[in-house]
Amino acid sequence: MMQDDERWMREAIAIARSKGSDPSTSPLGCVIVLDGKMIAGERNQTHELPDATAHAEMMAIRRACEDTGELELRGATLYSTLQPCGMCTMASIWSKVGRVVYGAGRDDVHPMYFEAKHVDTLAFINDAYRDDIVIEGGCLKAECAVLYYGPDAELPTDEQANL
Would you call 82 exposed, middle or buried from its count of C-beta atoms within 10 A (0-12, 13-18, 19+)?
buried
Question: Which member of 57, 70, 136, 159 is catalytic?
Answer: 57
Known catalytic membership, residue 57: yes
Phi then psi dihedrals of residue 124, to 5 deg: -60, -40
Helix ranges (DSSP H) in 69-140: 86-94, 121-126
Measure the CA angle with vertex 102, ends 111 and 115; round to 5°: 25
Tell me, rounded to whole angstroms, the distance of Cα 106 from its chain centroid.
12
Query: Which amino acid is residue 116, in one-letter code?
Result: A
Residues annotated as catalytic are: 57
